[in-house]
Amino acid sequence: MECFLIEGDKPLYGSVRVGRSKNAVLPLMAASILFDEVILEEVPKLRDVISFKKLLEFMGAEVECQDECVIKVEELEPFAPYEIVRTMRASFLVLGPLLARYGRAKVSLPGGCVIGARPVDIHLKAFEQMGARINIESGYVIADAPKLKGAEIYLDFPSVGATENILLAASFLEDETVIRNAALEPEVADLANFLKKAGVEIEGIGTSTLRVKGPIREQKMVWKSIPDRIEAATLMMAIAITGGEGEVNGVCKEHMENVVNKLLQIGVELDFKEEIVYVRGKLPFKPSNIITAPYPGFPTDLQAQMMVMLTQADGVSTVQETIFENRFMHVPELMRMGADLRISGNTVTIKGPSKLRGAPVMVSDLRAGAALVIAGLAARGKTIVRRIYHIDRGYERLDRKLKQLGASVKRVSERELGLEE
Ligand code: UD1
């Protein structure tokens, strides 16, 4: 297994480019089920993209992924096996399009993951409302809908995945579907804009009520997704926490208002010029209180990284996680690096500024991994970040991008360091 070896406590300088959004690309790969051919441009080289490719290929699609991803679909077997779905929850997004196109689907339940139980009840309730019969057998959702129909659906929670899954199914139908309390995330809007370009009538993009009326009129589509706002913010934080100065290119400020405000509040200097943000870190930061919330609230996917930033704030800060019930796996690892953190329920209290020290740490999930890397960059001495395959799921060569900014980050095999694999 590979790990990152980081020599921290060096200010980062220079310029780095953000890729296309992972969370926008994966639903678009699911959308390809409804088309003859979809070409996605500038697809990031991520483990999750490879997993999705495998899933589509397993079902019978032809997928070629280089800089662009070309997906050709003729006839699919509507079956998503546990072995692939378990590696990535976003696989569950194939249920809606399979059900709409083939009238039936067998898709493995994603199961729990380290950050929480993550059920799919909201997805399933919606498909039942659209006329599907759903059974759960041996860990599989077996859905049957000879004729799926439009419906008026109210989501109990603005779930990103459920909104996308329903949107995908509804795009295939000729009658109208209304999704109320829809998720507002920019990645949902990206998917809706793609479907709209394909001829689906969609009203309310970017709002909590989506009115969707198919069918799809263009069978071949080319699309370039929005920039990855989570990667952008992660790189901005990496520069700031080292007291460095640099440019992050290819960002969309409009998608990052909440994070930008919080970074400005704690004293990070940010200057936006079109798609470039110029970042300057002035330490120590000022303390702050963060509460994660659905968009446009503070993203749960940046909670761990922001917590590391607040370890360098002069005073007491809090971070409250309201989206996932178990998303503090990074806390004990950060404490081993010298952070002063206390968990109470869904809130972590952070006393800063702490002098972080390098240590061997273990990644539990994608964003926790990014947080530990940021901590390693700020820490004095050597940090070994293990289980970086989690990081590779959602960041394209994070080590290379940080190296471009002058960081000392090496990808090495654990064996090279004499560690047990
Ligand atoms: C998406 C993102 C993920 C991000 C999350 C929240 C992708 C591929 N992933 O995940 O990076 O962290 O949004 O912004 O886009 N829930 C239920 N029942 C359901 C569905 C969800 O209880 O049927 C709960 C989940 O357990 C979780 C919360 O709702 O606690 C948010 O989930 P959701 O918005 O669906 O997130 P994902 O689409 O899985």
Q: What would the pLDDT profile of 307-339 be if each residue is shown by its tens digit?
A: 999 999 999 999 999 999 889 999 999 999 999
Specify whether 189 is located in the same domain as 65: yes
- Considering the domain boundaries, does residue 418 fall inside one? no
**47-72: per-residue pLDDT in tens?**
999 999 999 999 999 999 998 999 99
Specify whether 43 is located in the same domain as 7: no
Range of the domain at 126: 22-224
Specify whether 218 is located in the same domain as 109: yes
37 by Cβ neighbours in 10 Å (0-12 / 13-18 / 19+) ranks as middle
Specify whether 302 is located in the same domain as 165: no
For residue 26, give the ligand 1 atom closest to its CA: 8
- Considering the domain boundaries, does residue 97 fall inside one? yes
Phi, psi at 289, each rounded to 5°: -120, 130
d(CA 417, CA 411): 11
Digitized pLDDT (tens) for each residue of the chain, 421 residues in all: 999 999 999 999 999 999 999 999 999 999 999 999 999 999 999 999 999 999 999 999 999 999 899 999 999 999 999 999 998 999 999 999 999 999 999 999 986 566 666 789 999 999 999 999 999 999 999 999 988 999 999 999 999 999 999 999 999 999 999 999 999 999 999 999 999 999 999 999 999 999 999 999 999 999 999 999 999 999 999 999 999 999 999 999 999 999 999 999 999 999 999 999 999 999 999 999 999 999 999 999 999 999 999 999 999 999 999 999 889 999 999 999 999 999 999 999 999 999 999 999 999 999 999 999 999 999 999 999 999 999 999 999 999 999 999 999 999 999 888 887 6
- H or E stretch including 348? strand 347-352
Specify whether 218 is located in the same domain as 235: no
d(CA 150, CA 144): 15
pLDDT value of position 421: 62
22-31 vs 95-102: helix axis angle to the nearest 10? 10
For residue 122, give the ligand 1 atom closest to its CA: 23
- Considering the domain boundaries, does residue 133 fall inside one? yes
What's the gap in Å between 298 CA and the centre of ligand 1? 14
Max Cα separation, the chain?
62
Specify whether 245 is located in the same domain as 306: yes
- Considering the domain boundaries, does residue 154 fall inside one? yes
Whether 113 is a known active-site residue: answer yes
- Considering the domain boundaries, does residue 421 fall inside one? no
Chosen domain end from 224, 242, 258: 224
Name the 3-class secondary structure at 1. coil
Specify whether 345 is located in the same domain as 394: yes
Specify whether 378 is located in the same domain as 248: yes
For residue 301, give the ligand 1 atom closest to its CA: 12
Specify whether 315 is located in the same domain as 270: yes
Name the 3-class secondary structure at 116. strand
Does this model's pTM top 0.95? My answer is yes
- Considering the domain boundaries, does residue 287 fall inside one? yes
Q: Who lines ligand 1 at CB under 6 A?
A: 23, 26, 89-90, 116, 118-123, 157, 159-162, 187, 300-301, 323-324
Q: What is the dihedral sign for C-alpha 402, 407, 413, 419? A: negative
Specify whether 284 is located in the same domain as 365: yes
- Number of structural domains found in the chain: 2
- H or E stretch including 337? none
Chosen domain end from 173, 193, 224: 224
Choose the catalytic residue: 3, 65, 69, 113.
113
Q: What is the CATH number of the domain that holds 171?
A: 3.65.10.10
